[in-house]
Amino acid sequence: MNHYDVFNGDADGLCALQQLRLVNPIASILVTGPKREINLLDRVPGGAAATVTALDISMDKNRDALQRLLAEGVRVQYFDHHFPGAIPSHPALDVHVETVPDKGTSLLVDDYLGGRQRAWAVVGTFGDNFDQSARRAAEPLGLSEADLGLLRDLGIYLNYNGYGETVEDLHVAPEDLYRRLQPYTDPLAFIAEDATFAVLRDGYTDDMARARAMAPEFEDAGHRLYILPAETWARRASGVFANELAQQAPDRAHAILTRIASGCYLVSVRAPLSRPDGADALCRRFPSGGGRKAAAGINALPDEAFDAFLDAFRSAF
């Protein structure tokens, strides 16, 4: 019987797992994927697991698989900040779930570990676009502004790498990326020593230059909506482009719709940073939608639902 680490392939999921395994290094089977692939508990085979740690994946979207694992006698530890729905009460389930707008899974794990790998929590928090929370968490570390900036860059690049329709869209598969991070107790050492940082930095720079050249499809005083083409660079840039826009215009809501091969849109929504609430409720109104209060998405919005989405987006914020 095995232990499974099941984690979101974005910065928050990677850095949450990094903290846990630096403090408690155990052999595990990794289950992960692109950022939007969140039904990950389904991939834990029946009868194969004794214990599971789930990180930064919605309990609401994994409910059936979670119930299956608990019925099999699997002990599950769950860390997450997305909308959970009704949380099961079960003696084998250890839950660490909070849905406040400015606290991600990396900070939940940081709380659990008493800050023992705080620098990685800061990286994950920057990656989830919680800049103020990341800076507060970093205060005890006494970092220079230059080093803090490098941790922010790393968080953004790790998050950027998670976006894509498939693993093939990504520069580095999330499981491989975690293995590259794994030896480093200090994220600044990873930045200085591992060539992966430069790969992600250069990819981010190229893709974001293309995204920044796009004009909004819709814009008013409180909203901006962009449509990106069905190209690999656009799928990679969509989420971090939305984060950047949110930082630049904190009183506006933003939506990035990226065309995908199925003819639908991949949607990223950011609530205004000045009132970070409502993104998850908006996206859950559409099939395949979900997320958290400040940032959410829809995996496949049909073309014919565009007008309904635009109306809902404008009324939600």
pLDDT 10s digits, 188-215: 999 999 999 999 999 999 999 999 999 9
pLDDT of residue 162: 96
Q: How many CB atoms lie within 10 A of CB 230?
A: 16
Rounded mean pLDDT, 263-276: 95
CA distance 272 to 266: 20
- What average pLDDT does this structure show over 65-74? 98
pLDDT of 52 reads 98
Per DSSP (E only), the strands in 199-278 are 218-220, 223-228, 253-259, 265-270
Q: What is the mean pLDDT of the chain?
A: 96
pTM for this model (two decimals)? 0.92
Hey, what amino acid is at 189? Answer: A
Under the banding of pLDDT at 50, 70 and 90, the label for residue 171 is very high
Of the pLDDT bands very low, low, confident and very high (cuts 50, 70, 90), residue 261 is confident
Q: What is the CA radius of gyration of the chain?
A: 19
In the predicted structure, residue 154 carries a pLDDT above the cut 90: yes
pLDDT class of 262 with cuts at 50, 70, 90: confident
Categorize the per-residue pLDDT at 265 as very low, low, confident or very high, splitting at 50, 70 and 90: very high
3-class SS at 313? helix
pLDDT of 57-68, one tens digit each? Answer: 999 999 999 999
Across-strand partners of 76? 52, 93
Better-scored residue on pLDDT, 151 or 101: 151
Q: Which residues of 156-189 are buried (b: 16+ CB within 10 A; e: fewer)?
A: bbbbbbbbbbebebbbbbbbebbebbeebeebee
- CATH code: domain 2-202 is 3.90.1640
Residue 101's pLDDT band, with cuts at 50, 70 and 90, is: confident
d(CA 271, CA 256): 12
pLDDT band at 169 (very low <50, low <70, confident <90, very high): very high
Q: What is the pLDDT of residues 106-148, one digit of tens each?
A: 999 999 999 999 999 999 999 999 999 999 999 999 999 999 9
Structure tokens at 56: 């930064």
What size, in residues, is the chain? Answer: 317
CATH number given to 214-316: 3.10.310.30
What are the structure tokens assigned to 57, written together? Answer: 């994946």
CA dihedral angle for residue 252, residue 164, residue 191, residue 247, rounded to 10 degrees? 0
pLDDT, position 259: 95
In the chain, the percentage of residues whose pLDDT exceeds 70 is 100
Task: Kindly list the domain boundaries of the chain, sorted by start residue.
Answer: 2-202, 214-316
